[in-house]
Structure 1
Amino acid sequence: MMFETITYETQDAIAEIRLNRPHRLNAVVQQLYDDLLEALDRAQMDKNVRVIVLNGEGRAFCVGADMKEHKAGRSAFERRQYLMSEQRVCRRLLSHPKPSIAAVNGYALGAGAEMAIACDFMVMAASARIAFPEIGLGAFLGGGVTHILPRLVGLAKARELIFLGQQIDGAEAVRIGLASRCIPDDEFAEGIRTLAAELSKGAPFSMQLAKEQLASAAHGTFDSVLTAELEGMMFCSTTRDWHEGINAFAEKRPPVFRGE
């Protein structure tokens, strides 16, 4: 299946979803959201896929909404449907059972920044820039950023990033806890492949449970977290991957997990 606004490729347990509107710096239109949701569903259904990498074609990751599309005279209902599509994409990234990496190779602005922080890892090239410029445009934020961003950088820094809308580079994003890593431009592609390969070696059930628990633990009590972790440990101990992990440790070899 070919997509109109993205490309989708799989190799070595990694699904690469690349935003593919470089002539518009990968600015978002409705079709791009539709294609992303379809690609994320495909990655979930494919048992051979262990990790998702989201990146952008050309010199930008995604510069947010395509302003030309906004001037096309859409009805209020159409605008709402479009805005809800971003919510669905970000929710899908957050809740996806497989870990995701946002490979921010250039500008990540507005909706682009919001999709990036919805991924489990945001890795930035040294020359990349990220910002939340909505207030300066008279617009508002989406994708759950008012929930996610303070958890990453703290409320005071989140206010600064959102109220001022200033662009920051990869090194600063790492310093404040917004990004996981900053990689020199000439090493960026290889750095992303290395991280994705490392993640792909993890036990799929264990990874999924860890992702779910890290996302939900802040909303529960300490006792509820202990209960959830106990259930997770018990479940993992029933899988073949658990036995493989134990055997590999005893035999002093890397485990080969199969998601079974």
Structure 2
Amino acid sequence: MTKYHYIQTLRHGAVMEIRLSRPERLNAVIKPLYDELLDALHHAEIDPEVRALILSGEGRAFCVGADMKAHASGERSAFDKHQYLAGEQQVCKRLFTLEKPIVCVVQGHAIGAGAELAIACDFLLMSKQAQLALPEVSIGTFIGGGVSYLLPRLVGLAQARELIFNGERISAKRALKIGLANRRLSEQHFRQQALEFATNLAHKAPLSMALAKRHLNLLGTQGLDGALTSELEGMCFCATSNDWQEGVDAFAEKRPPRFKGN
């Protein structure tokens, strides 16, 4: 497995965990970290043994956003700044479009770019004491990672405006209430609970999962007729797969299915 400097990759059976690993900087993001994330996501996508992913952070926080110390150094050119900002856009797009389910696990804080990484994932699990914020407008910068597209889809336009315009930190309890988070996890066992959540996803049929993610990502862009047509195509495609027959056989034999992704 590839050796990285700013992230760790861990395998838990069919689940790959990608863990941000700059705990001394509360996992603040820098361009090389984005580069490593893109590489790890690519390897996860092409590995047929990986059925689901976890994105997490080492230490006290998931990710507190941009490394302001690096920003303040004043040593980067305009091109360097553009490449850094583009790095986040690329990573968030890969999180959103990768055809395997991705579970983000937030402990401590997910601030700015950290919140944007979390929002780009399919599922957001937060420890009970975790907080999330999008303070960009409050500090003279701007949101990224596709948040202007993704956040209203999750929480509605009114809540998205409040989170972005105010920039205040919200608790895991409120994130769950408004539909941003999927679960609140105990502080003591949040990693184990997250792994159980991701492992359950990893047991599903890979072809069906990829189609489900792809179609849900098109929410509101197809119309009813378009959705019905593409769903029919998806159903017909799955019905030709070995996994479809395995699902039928497993149901008839009253046993868990063993999907192989073909």
Q: Distance in 2 between matches of 1:99 and 1:197?
A: 11
Q: Distance in 2 between matches of 1:189 and 1:26?
A: 17
Q: Which residue of 2 aligns with 1:9?
A: 10
Q: Distance in 1 between matches of 2:158 and 2:43?
A: 38
1:108, distance to aligned residue in structure 2 (A): 0.2
- Helix, strand or coil: the match of 1:34? helix
Which residues of structure 2 form unaligned runs of 5+?
none
Alignment of 1:111-190 (within 5 A): 111-190=113-192
1:80, distance to aligned residue in structure 2 (A): 1.0
Q: Which residue of 2 aligns with 1:97?
A: 99
Q: Write out per-residue CA displacement over residues 171-194 of structure 1, whole angstroms, 9 at most, x where no aligned residue.
A: 110000000111111121221011
1:43, distance to aligned residue in structure 2 (A): 0.5
- Helix, strand or coil: the match of 1:62? coil
- Helix, strand or coil: the match of 1:15? strand
1:198 partnered with 2:197: no
Q: Which residue of 2 aligns with 1:43?
A: 44
Letter in 1 for 2:169: Q
Alignment of 1:205-244 (within 5 A): 205-244=207-246
Letter in 1 for 2:73: A
Q: Distance in 2 between matches of 1:97 and 1:151?
A: 19
Deviating runs (4+, > 4 A) in structure 1?
A: none
Q: Distance in 1 between matches of 2:258 and 2:80?
A: 48
1:219, distance to aligned residue in structure 2 (A): 0.8
Letter in 2 for 1:207: M
Q: Which residue of 1 aligns with 2:248?
A: 246
Q: Distance in 2 between matches of 1:193 and 1:5?
A: 21
1:11, distance to aligned residue in structure 2 (A): 2.0
**Which TM-score applies when normalising by structure 2?**
0.98
- Helix, strand or coil: the match of 1:64? coil
Which residues of structure 1 form unaligned runs of 5+?
none
1:77, distance to aligned residue in structure 2 (A): 1.5
Letter in 1 for 2:72: K
Alignment of 1:50-61 (within 5 A): 50-61=51-62
Q: Write out per-residue CA displacement over residues 74-133 of structure 1, whole angstroms, 9 at most, x where no aligned residue.
A: 121211111111000000000001100001012000000000010000000001110001
**Which TM-score applies when normalising by structure 1?**
0.98
- Helix, strand or coil: the match of 1:256? coil
1:21 partnered with 2:22: yes
1:72, distance to aligned residue in structure 2 (A): 2.8
1:109 partnered with 2:125: no
1:71, distance to aligned residue in structure 2 (A): 2.0
Q: Distance in 1 between matches of 2:222 and 2:144?
A: 24
- Helix, strand or coil: the match of 2:218? helix
Letter in 2 for 1:201: H
1:225, distance to aligned residue in structure 2 (A): 0.6
Q: Write out per-residue CA displacement over residues 133-187 of structure 1, whole angstroms, 9 at most, x where no aligned residue.
A: 1011100000000111111111111111111111111111000000011111112
Q: Distance in 1 between matches of 2:191 and 2:83?
A: 34
Q: Distance in 2 between matches of 1:97 and 1:193?
A: 19
1:217, distance to aligned residue in structure 2 (A): 3.1
- Give me the CA root mean square deviation: 0.8
